[in-house]
Amino acid sequence: MPTHPFTVPTLFDALQDPAALIDTEGRFTDLNQAFLERAHRHGYA
C-alpha cells in the first residue's frame, strides 16, 4: 500500500494521458471513470 496520501487526479493529469479519456470507438469516456482508472494504474485505488 502506498505510504503517501491519496491525491485525486486532476483534469490536467488526465490530459497528459489522453488515451485514457477516449474509448475504442473514439468517444470521450466519463471523466470520473478515467480518473479512477488512472488512480488505479498509479496504485492509489
Cβ contact 31:37 at 8 Å? no
Q: Is 43 helix (H, G, I), strand (E, B) or coil?
A: coil
Percent of the chain topping pLDDT 70: 29
Residue 39 structural domain: 1-45
Amino acid identity at 15:
L
Per-residue pLDDT of 31-42, as tens digits, reads 677 777 878 887
Q: Region 24-37: what's the mean pLDDT?
A: 69
C-alpha pair distances (Å), 15 with each of 1, 2, 21, 31: 26, 24, 8, 10
Cβ contact 37:20 at 8 Å? yes
Number of structural domains (the chain) is: 1
The DSSP 8-state label assigned to residue 22 in this structure reads B
